């Protein structure tokens, strides 16, 4: 079902007009309320009057995560404190956390956008929906929660934590939908199987997964082990939270809520805007945000905008899967390596579980890459009494990695359950190199 056809299906011309008007308004708003943007625009010798259509967006300055940190806590907030009704924060491994304040109108738009996502997944008033994203400073829990309520569904604010209790609730309450990270979904499936609960005992039919990168193979695995249809849900707290983009029933990319979040793809090195279809770094401008609007925020997520229309009738542009992070990119012996490349290799080998860890180190001034991967016990049940099936697998993984990454990796086979699982974001990489 399409939640808001007036917006989600509006003609591209009309949409561009709306985006242009909203862009002009938000630029004038931050110019007058956020010294950071006013100073930047004055340095670049542009004023809000220069921004008259959506195409003028390329004249505007970029915003980075570092800008958000440098202006901690409220430097980029545009609305007066009395208008802010909620604050979320994302913590990084280094530096200040990123603080994002929302006005009542922001929360309303967030709920609206989230309802569009859930509707596209087929969630309705009769669904019992468990939100198993973390509640709290992270936007996942409350973001999805408000969307389900706004839609009229029944929300269970499970959050993360006690997985066995969660499985029992899903079974006993007849939960039909779930929102969580894809790795937590797999953790849930594992717990369920350990508890002896079968897919046929559950009423689960739809899942909204996001907040970390995942692949088509992971989707298939989650779908078969939890007995549901798995949809992608994309978002980031700096822009809003989950609901920035969503898959429809065609699952050919995720529609971006373009009337509120304007997307661009840029070359991460030159910052040049790239045409639709070309992969690069995703950049968003919030067109309607009041609490903390951002202009051309560099997400560091690598993807592309898909040209062409979607069969579902929505006119909102679609973004492809996130293929990596421009800042997750590892430079190993001068070669660019994305953890997602490793993941896709491992997922193509049935003996490997979709659970791995990359360790980058430096020995005698030479970078080394170690890939630890868990094996799936069921693929070794037919009988072994020597190490050869394991060393053969190690060689196979190493040779496939070599052909994809163009550098040699040291492969370590791990027994099931020995690579740490996270209930939040997955940590794939450990960079032990000490530079300078």
Partner 1 sequence: MKQVSVFIENKAGTVVGVLETLKKAGMQLYAISIADTAEYGICRMICDDPEGACEALRGAGFVSSITRVFAVRMDDQPGSAAGIVAMFASAGVDIAYLYSAIISGEPFLVFRTNDSDRAVEIVSSNGLTLAEV
- Binding residues for partner 1, rule: CB under 8 A, are 375, 377, 380-387, 390-391, 412-418
391 binds, among Zn ion, partner 1, none (CB under 5 to 8 A by kind): partner 1
Min dist CB 357 to partner 1, Å, is 14
Min dist CB 422 to partner 1, Å, is 18
Min dist CB 271 to partner 1, Å, is 44
| Ranges within 249-278 binding Zn ion (CB under 5 A) | 250
Task: Please state the three-class secondary structure of the chain as a single string.
Answer: CCCCHHHHCCCHHHHHHHHHHHHHHHHHHHHHHCHHHHHHHHHCCCCHHHCCCHHHHHHCCCECHHHHHHCCCCCCCCCCHHHEEEEEEECCCCCCCEEEEEEHHHHHHHHHHHHHHHHHCCCCCCCEEEECCCCCCCHHHHHHHHHHHHHCCEEECCCCCCHHHHHHHHHHCCCCEEEECHHHHHHHHHHHHHCCCCHHHCCCCEEEECCCCCCHHHHHHHHHHHCCEEEEEEEECCCCEEEEEEECCCCCCEEECCCCEEEEEECCCCCCECCCCCCEEEEEEECCCCCCCCCCEEEEEEECEECCCCCCCCCCCEECCCCEECCCCEEECCEEECHHHHHHHHHCCCCEEEEEEEEEEEECCEEEEEEEEEECHHHHCCCCCCCHHHHHHHHHHHHHHHHHHCCCCEEEEECCCCCCCCCCCCCCEEECCCCC
312 binds, among Zn ion, partner 1, none (CB under 5 to 8 A by kind): Zn ion
Min dist CB 309 to Zn ion, Å, is 9
Min dist CB 39 to Zn ion, Å, is 41
Q: How far apart are CA 127 and CA 148, in angstroms?
A: 9
| Ranges within 314-373 binding Zn ion (CB under 5 A) | 314
Binding to Zn ion by CB under 5 A, coded x per residue (else -) over 304-323, reads ------x-x-x---------
Quick check: 401 binds Zn ion (CB under 5 A)?
no
385 binds, among Zn ion, partner 1, none (CB under 5 to 8 A by kind): partner 1
Binding to Zn ion by CB under 5 A, coded x per residue (else -) over 157-196, reads ----------------------------------------
Q: Which is nearer to partner 1, 72 or 379 (CB)?
A: 379
**Residue in this structure with the two tokens 């170690």, named with its chain if needed:** 370
416 binds, among Zn ion, partner 1, none (CB under 5 to 8 A by kind): partner 1
Single out the segment in contact with Zn ion by CB under 5 A; choices: 42-50, 178-186, 246-254, 355-363: 246-254
Min dist CB 375 to partner 1, Å, is 6
53 binds, among partner 1, Zn ion, none (CB under 5 to 8 A by kind): none
Q: Which is nearer to partner 1, 180 or 413 (CB)?
A: 413
412 binds, among partner 1, Zn ion, none (CB under 5 to 8 A by kind): partner 1
Among 132, 155, 248, 317, binds Zn ion (CB under 5 A): 248
Min dist CB 391 to partner 1, Å, is 8
Q: Which is nearer to partner 1, 12 or 198 (CB)?
A: 198
Min dist CB 195 to partner 1, Å, is 13
Min dist CB 418 to partner 1, Å, is 7
Q: Which is nearer to partner 1, 108 or 377 (CB)?
A: 377
270 binds, among partner 1, Zn ion, none (CB under 5 to 8 A by kind): none
**Residue in this structure with the two tokens 């088509």, named with its chain if needed:** 216
Give the CA distances from residue 174 to residues 167, 170, 178, 257, 379, in Å, rounded to whole numbers and listed in that order.
11, 6, 11, 31, 33
Please report, as ranges, the residues that interact with Zn ion according to CB under 5 A: 248, 250, 310, 312, 314
């Amino acid at each position: 079902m399409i939640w808001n056809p007036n917006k989600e299906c509006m003609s591209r011309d009309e949409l561009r007009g709306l985006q242009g008007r909203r862009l002009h308004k938000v630029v004038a708003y931050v110019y007058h309320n956020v010294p950071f943007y006013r100073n930047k625009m004055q340095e670049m010798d542009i004023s809000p009057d220069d921004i008259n259509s959506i195409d003028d967006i390329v004249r505007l300055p970029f915003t980075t995560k570092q800008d958000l940190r440098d202006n901690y806590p409220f430097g980029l907030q545009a609305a007066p404190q009395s208008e802010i009704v909620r604050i979320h924060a994302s913590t990084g491994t280094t530096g200040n956390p990123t603080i994002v304040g929302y006005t009542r109108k922001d929360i309303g738009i967030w709920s609206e956008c989230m309802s569009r996502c859930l509707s596209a997944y087929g969630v309705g008033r009769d669904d019992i929906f468990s939100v198993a994203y973390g509640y709290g400073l992270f936007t996942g829990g409350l973001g999805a929660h408000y969307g389900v309520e706004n839609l009229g569904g029944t929300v269970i604010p499970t959050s993360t934590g006690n997985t066995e209790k969660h499985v029992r609730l899903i079974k006993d309450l007849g939960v039909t939908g779930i929102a969580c990270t894809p790795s937590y979904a797999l953790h849930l499936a594992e717990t369920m199987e350990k508890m002896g609960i079968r897919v046929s005992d559950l009423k689960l039919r739809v899942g909204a997964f996001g907040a970390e990168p995942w692949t088509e193979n992971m989707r298939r695995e989650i779908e078969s082990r939890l007995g549901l249809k798995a949809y992608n849900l994309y978002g980031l707290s700096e822009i809003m939270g989950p609901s920035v983009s969503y898959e429809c029933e065609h699952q050919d990319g995720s529609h971006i809520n373009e009337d509120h979040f304007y997307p661009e793809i840029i070359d991460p090195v030159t910052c040049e805007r790239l045409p639709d279809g070309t992969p690069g770094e995703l950049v968003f401008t919030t067109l309607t945000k009041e609490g903390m609007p951002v202009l051309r925020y560099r997400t560091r997520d690598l993807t592309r905008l898909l040209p062409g229309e979607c069969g579902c009738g929505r006119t909102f542009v679609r973004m492809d899967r996130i293929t990596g992070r421009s800042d997750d990119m590892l430079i190993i012996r001068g070669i660019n390596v994305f953890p997602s490349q490793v993941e896709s290799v491992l997922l193509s080998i049935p003996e490997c579980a979709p659970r791995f860890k990359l360790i980058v180190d430096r020995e005698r001034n030479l970078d080394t890459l170690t890939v630890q991967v868990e094996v799936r016990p069921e693929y070794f049940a037919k009988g072994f009494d020597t190490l050869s099936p394991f060393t053969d697998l190690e060689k196979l993984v190493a040779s496939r990695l070599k052909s994809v990454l163009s550098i040699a990796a040291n492969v370590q086979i791990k027994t099931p359950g020995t690579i740490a699982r996270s209930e939040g974001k997955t940590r794939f990489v450990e960079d032990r190199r000490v530079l300078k």
